C-alpha cells in the first residue's frame, strides 16, 4: 500500500498513542488512589476521535461520558483534564464533573451531564440555533437506542443541520452486548431517512475515507465498530481484548516504512505525558 497522506496518518497515530499513554497514566493514578472518582477510559477506542480530529474540524463538540479521547484528540487543555480527574478547583469543571463531564470551551467541547444520549438532541438544537457552527456529536451504541436519539437525528435531516453524528460502537452498554438489546443497526434507520450513513470498523484508513466524503454533506452518521479494553468504569479488565486497533494501525504504518517516525513519536509522547502528570500530581 502506498500511503498518500503520510503526514496525516502519522498525526492520527501520534494522537492515538498519546491518548493511550495518557489513559495509562490515569490507570496508574486510579490504582494508587490519587484519582478518587469513577473514570471512563477510552483505551482501545482511540482511533475514532484521533482520525476524526484530523479530517473534521467542528466548532462545537458534544460527547458523552467516555470523552477523554475526544478531548485529547481535539486538543483540549491537558493540564486541566488531569486536574479535573484529581478533583481540583483548577480542573476543567472545577472538580464538579469528573471524568464523565469534561469540557473545554476553548475547543468548543461542551460538558456532558451524565445522561446517555441526551447530548444528541442538545447537539442538534445547537446546530439549529446557530447554523454557522459545524457540530460533532459522539455517542455510544447504548445511547444509540435512546428514544430521543433517532428522533433528533431525523430533525437534523429535516432541517439540514450541519451535525456529524459518530457512534463509538463498542458493542457494550456497561457489560450488556448489543445482541441482547436489539436486532437492528442505527445506520439502517438513518439511511432510510436520507442521511449519509455507514457502519464501519474503527480502522483509521476507512474512517478517513468516510469522513472526507461526509464532512461536506451534513448531517451524516458514522457508526464505528470498536473495542473497549477496560471495564465500563474504572481500570479493570475481563481478559485480553479482542483486538487492539492501535497495535494493528502501528504495524501498518511500519509496513509503509514509517518505523523511525513512529518510534520518535512514541518517545516524545511518552516524555510529555509523563512530565505533565508528574507536574500536576506534585501540585496536589
Partner 1 sequence: MERTLAETIKEITKKHLEENNGLIMGQCLTAVGWVNHTVPDCENIIELPMIDVAGSGIVAGAALVGRRPIFVIRFQDFINLNSSFIVDYAAKTKYLFGYGTPIFIRALSTEGKGAGPTHSAISHSYFMHVPGIKVCSPMTPGEYQEIWDEFMKDDCPMYVSEHRHSFNQTKELEDIILPNADITLYGISASRFNMIEAAKELEKKNIKCNLSHILWLKPLSLDRMIKPLKESKLGLVIDSDFEIAGASQSIAYELMKQTGYRVEALGAEDRPTGTYERYENGTPKVEKIVEKTKNLLKKK
Ligand X SMILES: Cc1ncc(C[n+]2csc(CCOP(=O)(O)OP(=O)(O)O)c2C)c(N)n1
Residues contributing to the site for partner 1 (CB under 8 A): 36-38, 87, 93, 95-98, 100-101, 113-117, 142-148, 173-176, 180-182, 232
Question: In whole angstroms, what is the distance from residue 179 CA to residue 132 CA?
Answer: 39
Taking the complex as a whole, the smallest distance from the CB of residue 148 to ligand X amounts, in Å, to 9
> How many residues bind Mg ion, per CB under 5 A?
5
CB nearer partner 1, residue 180 or residue 216: 180
Dihedral (Cα; 109, 170, 94, 278), 10-degree rounding: -110
CB nearer partner 1, residue 146 or residue 209: 146
Site for ligand X in 66-85 (CB under 6 A): 66
Taking the complex as a whole, the smallest distance from the CB of residue 211 to ligand X amounts, in Å, to 20
CB nearer Mg ion, residue 243 or residue 261: 243
CB 58 within 8 A of CB 252: no
76 C-beta neighbours (distance < 10 Å), count: 22
Q: Is 202 in the site for ligand X (CB under 6 A)?
A: no
CB 168 within 8 A of CB 45: yes
CB nearer ligand X, residue 225 or residue 250: 225
- For 10, phi and psi rounded to 5 degrees? -65, -35
Nearest-CA neighbor of 117 among 73, 173, 190? 173
Alpha helices in the chain (DSSP H): 6-31, 46-55, 68-73, 78-85, 119-129, 147-158, 178-181, 186-192, 204-214, 245-255, 259-282
Q: Is 114 in the site for ligand X (CB under 6 A)?
A: yes
Question: In whole angstroms, what is the distance from residue 177 CA to residue 8 CA?
Answer: 34
> How many residues bind ligand X, per CB under 6 A?
16
As beta bridge partners, residue 62 has: 110, 137
Q: Is 172 in the site for Mg ion (CB under 5 A)?
A: yes
Cα R_g (the chain), whole angstroms: 18
Among 23, 104, 141, 203, which residue sits at the site for ligand X (rule: CB under 6 A)? Answer: 141
CB nearer ligand X, residue 25 or residue 170: 170
Binding partner of 267, given Mg ion, partner 1, ligand X, none, CB within 5-8 angstroms per partner class: none
Is residue 68 within a helix (H) or strand (E), and if so which, with residue range? helix 68-73
Using the Cα atoms of residue 204, residue 73, residue 143 and residue 127 in order, give the sign of their dihedral: negative
Q: Is 143 in the site for ligand X (CB under 6 A)?
A: yes
Which range touches ligand X (CB under 6 A), out of 81-89, 134-142, 243-251, 267-275?
A: 134-142
Is residue 197 within a helix (H) or strand (E), and if so which, with residue range? strand 197-201
Q: Is 58 in the site for ligand X (CB under 6 A)?
A: no
CB nearer ligand X, residue 116 or residue 157: 116
Residues in contact with 15: Cβ distance below 8 Å, sequence separation at least 6, in sequence order: 46, 49, 50, 53, 54, 72, 73
CB nearer ligand X, residue 85 or residue 116: 116
How would you classify the pairing of strands 220-225 and 135-140?
Answer: unpaired
Q: Is 44 in the site for ligand X (CB under 6 A)?
A: no
Which range touches ligand X (CB under 6 A), out of 147-155, 167-175, 192-200, 216-224?
A: 167-175
Site of interaction with Mg ion (CB under 5 A): 140-142, 170, 172
Site of interaction with ligand X (CB under 6 A): 65-66, 114-116, 139-143, 168, 170, 172-174, 232
Amino acid at each position: 500500500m502506498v500511503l498518500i497522506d503520510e503526514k496525516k496518518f502519522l498525526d492520527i497515530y501520534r494522537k492515538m498513542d498519546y491518548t493511550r499513554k495518557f489513559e495509562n497514566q490515569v490507570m496508574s493514578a486510579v490504582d494508587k488512589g490519587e484519582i478518587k472518582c469513577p473514570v471512563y477510559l477510552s483505551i482501545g477506542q482511540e482511533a475514532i476521535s484521533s482520525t476524526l480530529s484530523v479530517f473534521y474540524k467542528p466548532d462545537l463538540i458534544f460527547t458523552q461520558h467516555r470523552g477523554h479521547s475526544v478531548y485529547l484528540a481535539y486538543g483540549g487543555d491537558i493540564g486541566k483534564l488531569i486536574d479535573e480527574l484529581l478533583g481540583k478547583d483548577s480542573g476543567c469543571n472545577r472538580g464538579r464533573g469528573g471524568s464523565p463531564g469534561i469540557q473545554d470551551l476553548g475547543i468548543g467541547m461542551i460538558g456532558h451531564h451524565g445522561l446517555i444520549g441526551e447530548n444528541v438532541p442538545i447537539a442538534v438544537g445547537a446546530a439549529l440555533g446557530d447554523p454557522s457552527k459545524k457540530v460533532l456529536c459522539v455517542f455510544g451504541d447504548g445511547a444509540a437506542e435512546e428514544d430521543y436519539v433517532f428522533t433528533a437525528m431525523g430533525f437534523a435531516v429535516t432541517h439540514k443541520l450541519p451535525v456529524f453524528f459518530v457512534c463509538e460502537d463498542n458493542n457494550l452498554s456497561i457489560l450488556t452486548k448489543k445482541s441482547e438489546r436489539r436486532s437492528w443497526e442505527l445506520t439502517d434507520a438513518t439511511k432510510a431517512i436520507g442521511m449519509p450513513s455507514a457502519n464501519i470498523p474503527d480502522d483509521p484508513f476507512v474512517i478517513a475515507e468516510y469522513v472526507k466524503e461526509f464532512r461536506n454533506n451534513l448531517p451524516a452518521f458514522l457508526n464505528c465498530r470498536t473495542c473497549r479494553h477496560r471495564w465500563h468504569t474504572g481500570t479493570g479488565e475481563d481478559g485480553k481484548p479482542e483486538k487492539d486497533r492501535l497495535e494493528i494501525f502501528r504495524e501498518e504504518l511500519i509496513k509503509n516504512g514509517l518505523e523511525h517516525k513512529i518510534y520518535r513519536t512514541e518517545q516524545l509522547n511518552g516524555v510529555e505525558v509523563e512530565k505533565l502528570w508528574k507536574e500536576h500530581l506534585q501540585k496536589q
